[in-house]
Amino acid sequence: MHYKSTRGQATNYTFEQAVLAGLSPDGGLFIPDHIPKAPADFLTKWADLSFQELALEVLSLYIDPSEIPRDDLRQLIDRSYSTFRHPEITPIHKVKNGLYILELFHGPTFAFKDVALQFVGNLFEYFLQRKNKGIANEADRHKITVVGATSGDTGSAAIYGLRNKKDVSVFILFPTGRVSPIQEAQMTTVQDKNVHCISVGGTFDDCQAILKDLFANEDFMSKYNLGAVNSINWARILAQTVYYFYSYFALLRQLKLQPGSKEAQQLRVHYSVPTGNFGDILAGFYATEMGLPTTRLLIATNANDILYRFFVTGVYEKALDVEGNVHATLSPAMDIVVSSNFERLLWYLAREAAVDAQTVPEQDRDRKAGEIVEQWMLDLKKHGRFDAGPKVLAAAKRVFDAANVSDEQTCATIRAYSHPANPASQPAYVMDPHTAVGVTAGERMHPEMDDKTNVVISLSTAHPAKFSEAVELALKEQPGVVFDEFFKTVLPKEFDGLLEAERRVTVIPRAEEALVIEVIARELQQ
Ligand SMILES: *Cc1c(COP(=O)(O)O)cnc(C)c1O
């Protein structure tokens, strides 16, 4: 299996090259040269595998054994998920008939990004160890410097994925005072020597702009061998495909249906996914294309709803608030202006519906799709929008639906499930605001959900304690609820004392590339 770019220029990258580079040199994102099909008998063969065994089967289809031998891949997977607190890694939880929450927050930082970044951290280490085999002289060893910018979740998940990894250093920029207290504490209390947090006087966009400059700075790039772990890294998408398969089989087990049976085939299974950069739900697209019998994938956005609007009009258009900023919502991990991973889906849509099959011969269609994507991205950059046209929109709607959810609706959903009208038939379930966006969208699009014909699996991307401010806002006015007492019942013990623990962080007063370079150079010298 080789990898190519969505802009059509780069082809024939190995998995290792695609993962270590992150972004393709032509500015595109890496995609596999074809989407492999799951084996014909996977519905029976994979049905009872553990999460780790299933991951080995799925990932093997995208990573040749000549690149990573199967036993090595197995070890990488086992090591990556040994840090999870739940034996099933990503369990499903029934909240009512027809509605199942896929809990993705049982990793070290209590959010779904751990599922991918625990694996990516081990992959980086594996590739470096292999390159450095037999190199005793410290100065000759291959090293990688991972630099990332975060508004919260990515930073802590990257740090926990890369902490204490040999020959890897990680620097995370975050905007001073603009990440939640728990998120800041999760990042800055990590004491491993290879982890460096930089608190930047500015906004998240300022941090991202510095990051962009650093990756465009060729001297700096080559001197420090920069690596990226942001959500466009292919390995992150790949690792996330596993829980779509796993949850499908877990659902059939709960419903006591034989995979592949007539009853199972009649069951419509929809996945509702709280979406920002489109990484999580894109993994569902790959799973579907591989053969997983998902009925539809539902894109759930908050007020930053560029994707929702695309699915209404076929126009992809940036929108900002009156002050020219991204809308600040109760689900901040989804506060984005454009969704970076959407480019990957656009390539498949362009290939299917925008390339003229009458005039373009088969062998030229991949390249032609890359050119169309390139033009769309240029338009987006120049004019803030592009129109993909009705054919592309129709192709997108074959697999996806979209819904946007307000903060008020998010709070109402958190309340409704925390205090169900009839606790005997529907036990209380406290969900975080991102999860509530997905559940709200699922209920809106599939009001007829039940256990017989229409099931919604709604992805839960964070533990409620991680976004407790929003949960508190939703629940504080509830009659008879003492929030603090109530919240103690869901608070993980790992958060005890976290806010008071010793911190390691460098503060830079202004958002300037030179100041960041200075910190990185100084820390790496030591
Ligand atoms: C990152 C994140 C999301 C959005 O996922 P994408 O892959 O960017 O669409 C949703 N919820 C939480 C809690 C996250 O951390």
The predicted pLDDT at position 88 comes to 98
Q: Where are the beta strands (DSSP E) in 388-515?
A: 400-404, 454-460, 506-508
Give residue 250's Cα distance to chain centre.
21
Cβ(107) to ligand 1 under 6 A? no
d(CA 111, ligand 1 centre) in Å: 8
d(CA 154, ligand 1 centre) in Å: 9
* pTM for this prediction: 0.95
The predicted pLDDT at position 203 comes to 85
The predicted pLDDT at position 89 comes to 98
The predicted pLDDT at position 21 comes to 86
Cβ(443) to ligand 1 under 6 A? no
The C-alpha atoms of residue 171 and residue 159 are separated, in whole angstroms, by 9
The predicted pLDDT at position 424 comes to 77
Could you identify the atom of ligand 1 that is nearest to the CA of residue 467? 13
Cβ(32) to ligand 1 under 6 A? no
Cα first-last separation, the chain? 40
Among 236, 431, 434, 460, residue to substitute to test ligand 1 (most atoms within 8 Å of Cβ): 434
The C-alpha atoms of residue 334 and residue 327 are separated, in whole angstroms, by 10
Among 102, 115, 153, residue to substitute to test ligand 1 (most atoms within 8 Å of Cβ): 153
Could you identify the atom of ligand 1 that is nearest to the CA of residue 240? 7
Active-site residues, by number, are 113
The predicted pLDDT at position 281 comes to 98
Cβ(153) to ligand 1 under 6 A? yes
Helix (H) or strand (E) holding 306: helix 306-313
Beta bridge partners of 319: none
d(CA 341, ligand 1 centre) in Å: 12
The predicted pLDDT at position 457 comes to 98
The predicted pLDDT at position 221 comes to 86
Cβ(274) to ligand 1 under 6 A? yes
pLDDT in tens, the chain (526 residues): 999 999 988 889 999 999 988 888 888 999 999 999 999 999 999 999 999 999 999 999 999 999 999 999 999 999 999 999 999 999 999 999 999 999 999 999 999 999 999 999 999 999 999 999 999 888 899 999 999 998 878 899 999 999 999 999 999 999 998 888 889 999 999 999 999 999 999 888 889 889 888 888 889 988 998 888 888 899 999 999 999 999 999 999 999 999 999 999 999 999 999 999 999 999 999 999 999 999 999 999 999 999 999 999 999 999 888 888 888 899 999 998 889 999 999 999 999 999 998 999 999 999 999 999 999 999 999 999 999 999 999 999 999 999 999 999 999 999 999 988 888 778 889 999 999 999 999 999 999 999 999 999 999 999 999 898 899 899 887 776 667 777 777 788 888 889 899 999 999 999 999 999 999 999 998 8
Give residue 314's Cα distance to chain centre.
24
Give every CB contact of residue 525 below 8 A, 6+ residues apart in sequence.
Answer: none
